[in-house]
Structure 1
Amino acid sequence: MKVFAPLVLTVLRYVLLVAILGFAGYYLVSQWTGVAAALAEISWPSIVLSFLLVLAGLGAGTMSWVSVLNGLGPRIPIARAAQVMLVGQLGKYVPGSVWSYVMQMELGRQYGILRPRVLVAGLYAAGIGVVASLILGSMALPVVLRGHTQLLWLFLLLPVGLFCLHPRIMTALASLVLRAFRRPPLEHKVTIRVVGKAVGWALLSYAMYGLHLWILVNSLVDPDFGTLVLLTGAMSLGFTVGLFAFVFPSGVGVREAILVGAMTLLLTVPQASAMSLVSRLMFTAADLVAAGLAVLFVIVLRKRILAESDRNNASHAYEPDTDVSLVARD
């Protein structure tokens, strides 16, 4: 039975990956009719720049995740860690966003990164993302007070999140999760530098996303700097709302409600709805492109990554791989 376990896990990984790509592709096709008309009103330079900003935001968000992962244990090469994060996070397109964590844990397992460590990194990165989004989301309070007062409770999470970001609290909670998986606690404490880097990258990520939306709106009207601040806050808050709407694929629908509410200060409701669809389409396309680029980088830099891995292994930087019995127990 133990002999077939690795084969079964490999098959399941590929089946899940095919399902993820299928859901993401279906979403792109199903939304194209509503997006095509809106794209015709946007200049191509604005489309290209806006899309590049989404990719930049994804890159910053990935660095936030990598910072947390490397803060919880031995350093993993950035290209390899980025592949785990970007390919794994495509699982959010399958209804029930738990699949992104499953994919990340399985991909990490292939590189000798223990599943609990990847899970803890994902949960903490999500928590850091919530804190960062609520910090910037406070700039969208006019929109919340105008038509989404039911979301005010989200801001109660900010002091709780800030408390949990204390290095000692992070270390204790991470060790608690590892103990639940029958793994030893962290060998060293999470440092304030790790927390600061992760929060900084997350804030930069949301700032890029806000600028992306501002560029789209700028193609129809002439928004000022105040609008940039408002749209950045709305985009950030939308991500947090989408995170809690985990029963929908990648928070579909709930983020758009926040964005439309913010954009109707400048655009008509049909225009705002169209821009939100364009934005969502760009995020889906960027997710697929970023995951593909991460895989490509790992292939191109394979020798360099393996050399770095050998150096890390020699200095005990990598966690030892587990045998089949431990895989089953994980």
Structure 2
Amino acid sequence: MRKVQVLIERAQEALTNSRIFRVALGTTAGTLLLWLAWRYWLDLLALITNSNPVLLCLSIALGILANYITGFPFRLFLAQHGVSITFHTAASLQLAAQIAKYIPGKVWSAVMQAQLSGINRLGSLLVAGIDTSMFIMLTLTGIGVAILIAQFTWLGAIVIGAVTFTAVSHLSSKALLARVVAKFLHKRTQYTFRQYQPSVLGFSWKPFAAAGFLHAIIYTSFVLVLLTATIDFNAQYLLIATASVFLSWVIGNLAVIVPSGIGIREIAFIGLSHAFSLPADTATLASVAMLVRLINLVQDVISAGIVLPAIFFAHRQKKNGSMQF
């Protein structure tokens, strides 16, 4: 417990050192989002009013399922640290932690997961969580680029997708991502992550590839269904819009000091959509970007509302000795 406390203190010190910059950037990003909401709220309202409610509900369900599936790579990354949990537990922890991404600092998702699961390995949870985010970002980047390449050559798109999944899966199976993240965190916090270094090597790359492929299919379905429900694009422009959503999501996540990429993701989507020559004006694109944000928020609230009580109940039952969480 002392080491966990030191880890939290060091992480907090590292965050405090850049507080002014983080607050300034976060405030600017939040202001951008508020400005977009104020400037285009009528367009957003019209977009929601004219959308297909059945497809909107389906997109919410698919988004929740995509977040649930991230428990697959999360469990694999935890196993590299010698932490063994079931897929359902890993997936539930991932759903529960979604709400924590709106709090500045990546450590809070791990803190929440540690408290909910009783796993006394905060460093492992933190690194595995970051590894999972990096894994998803890399695979979605590959899919986004492949979709854009598909406008010119399907063979090239298939090659890009296959190379991306194979490379990312091999890197993940060798725990290389975990080592890089651990070294980065050590530099930021001046804390040695010896006990959090990967303890099991030689994992097969195939489970990682399967996890990434399954998540990509479900997440792509979520975005396609959401866009189909709201905008009238042909198949080509629908795919380009989907790629813009993927890449803007990645850009938003790269802005790690901005909670959930607020404002960054929306501006990136508008910029990328214009760059890719989507036949839509700025008002429509801003409305779509804000709707995606709103749908994500609804997914996170529903997930937390379902998973958190279930985890607390299971944890309570475990203490009573009548159930294993």
TM range (shorter): 0.5 to 0.7
Query: Which runs of 5 or more structure 2 residues have no equivalent in the other structure?
Result: 10-32, 150-163
Work out the CA distance in 1 between the residues paired with 2:138 and 2:324: 33
Query: 1:233 — aligned with what?
Result: 243
Alpha carbons 1:242, 1:251 under 8 Å: kept: yes
Aligned residue type for 1:215: V
The equivalences for 1:52-91 within 5 A come to: 52-91=61-100
Give TM-score, length-normalised by structure 2: 0.67
* Percent of aligned positions that are identical: 16
Work out the CA distance in 2 between the residues paired with 1:241 and 1:175: 22
Aligned residue type for 1:269: T
SS at match of 1:112: coil
The equivalences for 1:173-212 within 5 A come to: 180-183=192-195, 185-189=197-201, 191-192=203-204, 195-212=205-222
Aligned residue type for 2:108: V
Alpha carbons 2:166, 2:209 under 8 Å: kept: no
SS at match of 1:233: helix
Between the two proteins, the alignment pairs up a number of residues equal to 273
> Offset of 1:271 from its aligned partner?
1.8
Query: Which runs of 5 or more structure 1 residues have no equivalent in the other structure?
Result: 10-26, 143-156, 311-330
Alpha carbons of structure 1 residues 246 and 120: separation in structure 2 relative to 1, 3 Å: closer
The equivalences for 1:122-201 within 5 A come to: 122-139=129-146, 141=148, 164-167=171-174, 169=176, 180-183=192-195, 185-189=197-201, 191-192=203-204, 195-201=205-211
SS at match of 1:237: helix
Alpha carbons 1:77, 1:308 under 8 Å: kept: no
Backbone CA RMSD of aligned residues: 4.2
Query: 2:232 — aligned with what?
Result: 221
Aligned residue type for 1:74: V
Deviations 1:210-233 (A, max 9, x none): 333333332331522x44543333
> Offset of 1:300 from its aligned partner?
5.1
Alpha carbons 2:252, 2:260 under 8 Å: kept: yes
Work out the CA distance in 2 between the residues paired with 1:242 and 1:50: 20
Alpha carbons 2:80, 2:200 under 8 Å: kept: no
Deviations 1:75-126 (A, max 9, x none): 21344433433333422212x3x2x423323531561331111122012112
> Offset of 1:47 from its aligned partner?
1.4
Aligned residue type for 2:73: S
Deviations 1:13-47 (A, max 9, x none): xxxxxxxxxxxxxx99x959554332111121121
More displaced stretch, 113-122 vs 196-205: 196-205
Alpha carbons of structure 1 residues 199 and 109: separation in structure 2 relative to 1, 3 Å: farther
